Every structure is written in C-alpha cells, then in structure tokens.
Structure 1
C-alpha cells in the first residue's frame, strides 16, 4: 500500500477522522516559553523567530476567538464549506496555569466550525494535570499534541539551546500516547553538525516512538536570531542544502521511517523579508510535487528501508 501511495500524507489521515475538509488556523494565544523567561533559560532556541510562522491575523492583541474568526474569513473565500482546527502554534502553548490554558482551548472550541485542537509545545511542558484534562477533552473532540523534538542528538539540542534532552522528548511522547491522544513531532533537518548518516539514524529512532504525525523542516537562517549571527561568523560550520540536495535528503529520510507515520510536511516557508538562506523560491506545494516526482524516479516509498 505505502509503495503505491509513496508516503502516508496528512490529508489521508484527516479524512479518517472527519467526513469534510479541515484546515488549521494558527493562533498566537499570548504564551511565552520557559526557554525565554528564565525558568529553563534565556534567549530561546538559537534558530527561533516566531514572526516566521505567524500569519497576519495572528496577533496577541486579539482574542483567540477573534483570531479564529479572521482566519476563517481568510480561508472561506476559497473554501466556503471548510471546517477548522484551532492551531495553538506560537511559543509554548501548554506553559501556564491550568485554568488559563483550559479557558483558551475552550474559547477556541466555541467558535463555529472549529472541530478540533492542535497544540504545539515543548516536551518539558506537559504536566500530569494538563494531560488528565486533555485526555478527557480528546474523548469528545479531536486533539493533537505536537512536540518540538528538533533533533535526537543531545549535543545538537545543547548547541541550539533547546533546554531539554531527547530522553525528555521520548518520555513526553510516550506519556501522551498512553492517554490515547494523537501525538505529533517536529524536527529540523540540517542543523549544524548533523550530516546525512546522523539524520538517517534520527529517522530510525523517531520511528520507535508512538508518534502519529511527523513534520520535517529544512534549516533556515532567520534575521535577528543567534544562529544567524553564528553563521555570519563561522559559515563553514553550516551546510545549507540546495533544493535538489534537500529533496534527496528528505527521500532518504522517509525511506527509513515507519510506514504508518503520517508525514505532515517537508519544508517551512519563512517570510522573504526575514529569510537569510536558503532562499529556494519554491512554495510548499511545489516542493511536495518535486518530492513525489523524484520518489517515482528513484522507485522510493516511505518505509522502504525501515526495520522494525
């Protein structure tokens, strides 16, 4: 089956959960991050600038409900019958008092046509009382928890100032999956010091976790980040992939992934005014088509070299 499909995509996964089309709407709910406010560290991850993934309607001076309504208007022009998932994306969306978190999640669910939640967070920010609540919520509404894993190598995690280890990511994924909640993971391909062989091992390690979905992004150097400053001083420590190189890397990677992992995306597209490199000039859907074409040429499919 997977050979014919090439890879297990998100739209197929969502069609198993919903009898209609759904679209994620990003929300900035005003959270911060323990890696910024001093609880774990300061300055945040060296690559991070949250402006890169906040749409125009996504501002903290607007309530969760307002942002969702504006997001709906944005998408409904093209897809009037669409339903929506409220995507708590910016910073750490499980970092706060339980009642505050519940209020924001439930405000999202009062908005018409919102049929579920996707909550982005860190592996070290999932307390048991919140998991108890999310377990109950997941029994009546679709919930997906997306953890920023970024790398399976602790040296890399330390280098990019993540503030957690891979063991903590493993624990968070397992604890969440044990509650029956679908779990997503996010990783960045091409972080300094991580070559192809290390990334293939990463794919194999992630495949052993009870992840439902996985999101891949290329390393991007963004203005205003510490990583951009590092690149300016020591560019020889970075390998910035050409688009064709990265396509082959993605295919190598997914050939070693567990076949039933849902692959949500392969690239990120940052605003041009913030992006230093690599600037491929390729939209996400164009990149996906290039991956599929190259997979057919290589006779590749997800899990081709996966060993349980």
Structure 2
C-alpha cells in the first residue's frame, strides 16, 4: 500500500499497539453550555439538535452496552478487538468531576477498551478535570479533543461559538505536560472566511504543539441558523474540489508529527441541506489524495518556521 502524504490515525494506532484500534462513539447524555442557557440557548450556528450524538443515552442504553453492542461488528469488519471509547456528542467534560469519573470508569472497564477520546470545548476544562484525565493517562491512551473551529475571534463570534481563541490557547497550555494527547477540531468553509484566514488557522495550530487535528467541512444542517444563511443566499458552500485543495493546503502547514485524525465529516442524510457532495465521503477522501499527488505535496511541506 502506498504511503499516505500525511500521518494518519490508523498508522499511529498500529505503531503504538501493533494492530488497528477502532473508536466507538459513546453518548454520555451530557449537555453544552452553549445550548443550555449558560452561554446561549441556540448553540453554534451549524450545530444540530443531537450535537453529533447517536441518541443512545435518551434511549436508556448504558455506556457499557453502547460499547459492547459494537464489538462483534467491529471485529468482523476491521479485524480488531482493541477499542477507544469516543465521548463525542455535546461537551464531555461539562459535568461535576465525580459524574465524569463514573462515566469514564465505566467505559474503561469494558474489556479491550485501551483508552478514551473526550470531545469537549476549551472553556469546559479546569484543573480538576485535567487531573482526572491525567490519572487515566498513566495506564491508558487519553485524547482530549478541543473544538477550535477557527483561530479568528471575528469568526468565532459570528458562529456563536461562545469563546475566543485565547480560551483555546489557555486550555492547550493547561493540558500540556500531563501525558494527555490534544486534538484540535477545525472547520473549513466557515462564513466570511477566506483561504488566507483558514491558512492562518493552520499556522496557529501548527505553532502550538498539538498532537492531532480533525478537519471538518462546514455543511448545512436542517433547522439551524446556517440553513437560514444558506437559503437567503448569504452563504455559499464549498465545492468538492475547492474543499480538497483547502485540506491539502492546511495539512501542508502542519508539522509531520501531527496526527491527521479526520479529513472530512459525516453528515446525516435526513438532516443535510447542502452540499450534496458531502455525503460522498469515500469520493472526497480519494479526491484529497489525488490532489496531494497533483500538487506533489505532503504534510509539513509548507510549515512556517518557528
């Protein structure tokens, strides 16, 4: 198999564990301060009502059961028994530490779970939460995934993010040195952002010593403020080739050590308004790989000097 022009997650797992590790999405039933009235009630302008969750918690499915019921399917399809519990929906450090510990303990108690990936906001971590995660990191692989989306405060304000870039910087600084891996989520194609803006976000992330990055396409979800922007003609979705070029250019500016955990997102068919091509994930990933080849480029090629 031809080596990828970037450091991908599967290669990272194989290097660390000697085999593939599969991430299992866990819905812990937690909320978000940007939806419950603490910051606002509307959330980010692109966020769906489920917060990218599965709805399993509302159905009364325990964390243990959520992981267990995926095991056989994963073993058959991906030929692995090792799992990472991925707390994905909403903000998974947004609860008292005692409650968080019970949730994380339950996930790690499931056989063959080798670690946790915790999706959260940079304004929802403190010393107590980081101390808890650091205690797990002594024996398990721990990733914390901070939603950044953009390094530009004007964009963060426009999308109703509820925090600024300095907040993200503080969270990253507080997490460093604890054996906790840090992943930044970035959205390409946010309203009002130019290519130059997106590349500036890449440069900012590259300079912070972050371990991984997830790249997402901004797609329009039904019932969100983004839908109103799109329908009024005030927002244009990225074209597929345009997105592929932006992804390559973004990754060019990241250190070779940064793990590229995701190249694009997974919209739900029944929620998606636009762009239709975002449902073609396999085609999009293949186009990104072809674009790397056409540009004769690779991760780190255009890394800004420190």
Instruction: Give your verdict on TM over 0.5.
Output: yes
Once structures 1 and 2 are overlaid, which stretch shifts more, 285-294 or 93-102? 285-294
> C-alpha distance in 2, partners of 1:49/1:110?
31
Contact 2:122 2:171 in 1 (8 A): yes
TM-score normalised per structure 1? 0.93
| Contact 2:267–2:278 (Cα < 8 Å) also in 1 | no
* Alpha-carbon contact 1:30-1:60 (below 8 Å) kept: no
CA-to-aligned-CA distance 1:79-133 (integer Å, 9 cap, x gap): 3533110000000000001110000000001111111100000000011011111
**What are the ranges of 5 or more consecutive residues in structure 1 without an aligned counterpart?**
none
1:232 aligns with 2:231: yes
Give the superposition deviation at 1:232.
Answer: 2.0
Preserved contact between residue 174 and residue 210 of structure 1 (Cα < 8 Å): no
Instruction: Find the aligned partners of 2:54 and 2:16 in 1 and give their Cα distance.
Output: 26
Give the root-mean-square deviation of aligned CA atoms.
Answer: 1.9
Aligned to 1:293: 290
Mapping of residues 2-41 of structure 1, within 5 Å: 5-41=4-40
Structure 1 match to 2:299: 302
Check whether the contact 1:213–1:261 (CA below 8 A) recurs between aligned residues: yes
Q: CA deviation at 1:174?
A: 1.7
SS at match of 1:78: helix
8 Å CA contact 1:144–1:184 kept in 2: the answer is yes
Compared with structure 1, are the counterparts of its residues 73 and 231 closer, same or farther at alpha carbon in structure 2 (3 Å cutoff)? same
Q: 1:5 and 1:24 mapped to 2: Cα distance?
A: 20
TM-superposed deviation, 1:175:
1.1
Per mean C-alpha deviation after superposition, the further-off stretch among 256-265 and 27-36 is: 256-265
Residues 50 and 90 of structure 1 are in contact (CA less than 8 Å); yes or no, is this contact kept in structure 2? no
Question: Secondary structure at 2:122's aligned position in 1?
Answer: coil
Contact 2:188–2:218, Cα closer than 8 Å, also in 1: yes
Match of 1:284 in 2: 281
Aligned length: 304
**Equivalent residue for 1:222?**
221
Asked if the contact 1:52/1:274 (under 8 Å) is kept, the reply is no
Distance 1:229 1:289 in 2: 31
Do residues 255 (structure 1) and 256 (structure 2) align?
no
1: distance between equivalents of 2:103 and 2:278? 36
Return the alpha-carbon distance in structure 2 between the equivalents of residues 220 and 38 of structure 1: 25
Is this contact kept in 1: 2:34–2:161, CA < 8 A?
A: yes
Structure 2: runs of 5 or more not aligned:
none
In 2, Cα distance between equivalents of 1:256 and 1:175 = 24
Which aligned segments of 4 or more residues in structure 1 are displaced greater than 6 angstroms? none
Name the structure 1 match of 2:106: 107
Displacement of 1:238? 1.8
Name the CA distance, whole Å, in 1 between partners of 2:36 and 2:94. Answer: 11
**What is the CA distance between 1:302 and its match in structure 2?**
1.1
Alignment correspondent of 1:269: 266
